Structure 1
Amino acid sequence: MIFTQTLPRVQHHWRRPCEGLARWRLPTAAKRGPERFRRCLKVSGQMSIRRSARIRLCHSATYLKCRIAYSVLVLHDVVGTCLAEHLAGTPVRETVHLAWRRLSSMRNLLLIAAAMLTAACSGEAEQRPDRSVTVVAEPVNYLPDETVVEAIGTARAARSAQIYPEVSGQVVAVRFRQGGFVKAGQVLVELDSRRERLALRLAEVRVREAEQLLARYRRIEDTGALSESQIEAGETALAAARIERDQAAVALAERTIRAPFAGNVGLAEVDVGDRVTPETLIAQLDQRARLFVDFNAPEAVFRRLRPGETVEVVAFSDPGQAISGRIEAIDSSVEQEQRSFRARTVIDNTGDRLRPGMSFSVRFVDSGVSRPAVPEAAVVWGGEGSSVFAVRDGKAVRVPVTITSRREGLALLDADLGAEALVIVEGVQKVREGQTVKLVRPPAPREAKVKVSGAQ
């Protein structure tokens, strides 16, 4: 069946008559030459070679296949003969000499057969017609090459303060509601101020005494009973008394802790009766109508991320809500260890949904140069890298490309493509370099028919 397998391209209606011929007569015909082989095919199939133009080119290849198969049989016969001669007692030298003489002629035939087979196959490939391929091509769209920077930021209030007492003392009253809003100057905590009040009253008495003494000096100043130095001493005593009164008033005011600005106060860290010192935290006060989100950006975008640029901020607590933020400030230096710099963006918090300390995802999109964008299916990969097929003068031309980024099913390319270039997007797998292509329109999407059954 070896020779029967070499005739797959012969028409099926005369394959069976050739089977017996291939089994018994084809080896002899192949040995005597191509002409005898062709005559055997003609007689066995009862048809002329001119009638079957489709198998003219395959005759030589079929003949060579039979010739090679015959050489394999000869090699098998030589090995069997040599083994029989050796078992019969023939010397090894004579056996080897006999095998070499029989194989030398077959080796030359194999070389000639291989050369003729290559020539026949190449001739068949050269005579193959260049058939056009139906493809779908689209014009190239140009989109800006975007650089997306994503970072994690932390929010802080626009104004924030930790409230500490100025002096030590005992808490006698807490005047704010935890988590509530307070106005600027509103009392938060009161400390025990009995001694400070007494000191203020004493200072006020001394001021009145100094004022009365100086008034008497003024009345008798014209009589000459007092010297100029005595009058100046009275004026100095009055000024000192007034300073002591002011100091007592300041000491009394320090016993009352007030809000430095309007905002939302946090949880109270002290209760009535607690003994506090200047290191004791009273509460946290935040002004959170606006929030600052600080994040670290890579050094590569230092020149492009400028104050006033818009970024997208998304809170991890509400990932479905994107907030538009504006860059407020950029740090003046780059961190050497992380090779990043600190940026601050401001976001609106009118609804008071966000809180200081929250984590945010910050996304910055930098639009660069415009690049050709094609569907990802249009890019083919080969030994030389990625490429696309452009249509020029009705033929497919391979254009090497480099993918710079991907966006929603499109590949942005760094390639030599004109503004009006046509790129094959469908049928690209069956196209080869220089092949004629036939452009067709892509099929329109079919509308889905939905059958709505009536309510039962």
Structure 2
Amino acid sequence: MKRIICTALICILVLTGCSATPVAKEQQPETTIPVYYLAGRVQASEAADLSVPFTGRVEAVLTSVGQAVKAGDPLVQFDISEASAQVKVTRQTLAIAQATLEKARTGARPEQLRQAEATAKAAKTALDNARKNLKRYQDLYNSDAIPLSQLETAQGQAASAEAAFKNADEALAILKNGETQAYMVVLEKQVDQAEASVAATEAVLANRTVKAPFDGIVVACPAKAGETYSYQTTLVSLENRDRLTVDAYGPTSAVNHFKVGQKVKARVAEQLDKEISGTVTWVGNTVDPKRQDVLVKISLAPETSLMAGMFAEIAPVQ
């Protein structure tokens, strides 16, 4: 009887096992974890440390850290008193040079010509009289009627009268015929030099106002009103954050995952839960001898929370 019961139990177990339907395993959704192959520093597409090529005292600081500025906006104003005085002097010199050149080009006025003619005529009369007087004294000296000193005095008077007539005659000829070409060239060069001096002093005056070279954000402003700053000392630091870039580096095996135009993901240590999109703009084809890796340039999408200097990791978009 026991043998019959055992045999029955075995049959039941076998039949139950054969008829059981296997339970299907629940399928888990596949997730793709980005692999950050490259790393580098975030930097602004445009950045500048503004300074001046002179030593001067700051009169006013017109900006502050964090302020958005437009190209051409004044940022720092230096004292302009000395520069303004130099501009005034050079402009006066230019006006004189231009007037002299214009006078030479237009020629003499009628009254100047009449005056020059009268001066030349008087000088000719004085020369004729001096020559007659010299001849008379020469005759008297030859007859031993006067001493040598009187003859020498007459000779000096004649020489002076001749020089005066020559000068008056040349002045009259210039007024009649105009200045010589060589003299006109000299006058024109003087005007050119005066214009260059005005331009130089006006440039110095303009440099007394430090202006923004491009649209951007003021990230540092060490300049202070009343302080004197020397040549090439940084006064304001400016960045254009409308377009941020990353110079990312990695070994050749990592760089092989990137190509120009490819979309990428970037994350920074300060915001690990946030991904910033970007595009590969350049892939290097040489290994840096110092770093022993390859450079890949990335252009990032505008993101107000990013700042230059942040360390970023780059992953390709699958």
Is the pair's TM-score, using the shorter chain for normalization, greater than 0.5?
yes
Between Structure 1 and Structure 2, the one with more helix by share is 2
Unaligned stretches of 5+ residues in structure 1: 1-11, 14-130, 367-456
The alpha carbon displacement at 1:302 in A equals 3.5
Distance 1:165 1:311 in 2: 40
2:312 to 357, 360, 364: 360
Q: Greater shift after overlay, 304-313 or 255-264?
A: 304-313
Greater RCO (Cα-Cα under 8 Å, separation 6 or more) = 2
State whether structure 2 residue 201 is matched by structure 1 residue 248: yes
Q: Which amino acid aligns with 1:186?
A: D
SS of 1:279's equivalent in the other structure is coil
Distance 1:194 1:213 in 2: 29
Unaligned stretches of 5+ residues in structure 2: 4-17, 109-174
2:73 to 181, 186, 189: 186
1:197 to 69, 84, 106: 84
**Residues 338 and 134 of structure 1, relative CA distance in 2, 3 Å threshold:** farther
Q: TM-score, normalised by structure 1?
A: 0.46
8 Å CA contact 1:149, 1:365 repeated in 2? no
Between Structure 1 and Structure 2, the one with more strand by share is 1
Query: Counterpart in 2 of 1:335?
Result: 288
State whether structure 2 residue 235 is matched by structure 1 residue 348: no
Say which one has the larger Rg: 1
Distance 1:169 1:298 in 2: 49
**Residues 187 and 147 of structure 1, relative CA distance in 2, 3 Å threshold:** closer
1:353-432 to 2 correspondence within 5 Å?
A: 353-364=305-316
Distance 2:317 2:36 in 1: 6
Query: Counterpart in 2 of 1:236?
Result: 189
The alpha carbon displacement at 1:202 in A equals 0.5
SS of 1:293's equivalent in the other structure is strand
Q: Which amino acid aligns with 2:82?
A: R
The alpha carbon displacement at 1:264 in A equals 0.5
SS of 2:272's equivalent in the other structure is coil
Aligned alpha-carbon RMSD (Å)? 3.1
The alpha carbon displacement at 1:146 in A equals 10
Q: TM-score, normalised by structure 2?
A: 0.65
Distance 1:180 1:237 in 2: 47
State whether structure 2 residue 48 is matched by structure 1 residue 161: yes
1:226 to 175, 179, 182: 179
SS of 1:244's equivalent in the other structure is helix
Q: Percent identity?
A: 23
1:249-328 to 2 correspondence within 5 Å?
A: 249-328=202-281
Distance 1:360 1:171 in 2: 38
Query: Counterpart in 1 of 2:6?
Result: none
Distance 1:195 1:355 in 2: 40
Which string of whole-angstrom CA distances, capped at 9 and with x for unpartnered residues, describes residues 341-385 of structure 1? 1212111225x222111222322267xxxxxxxxxxxxxxxxxxx
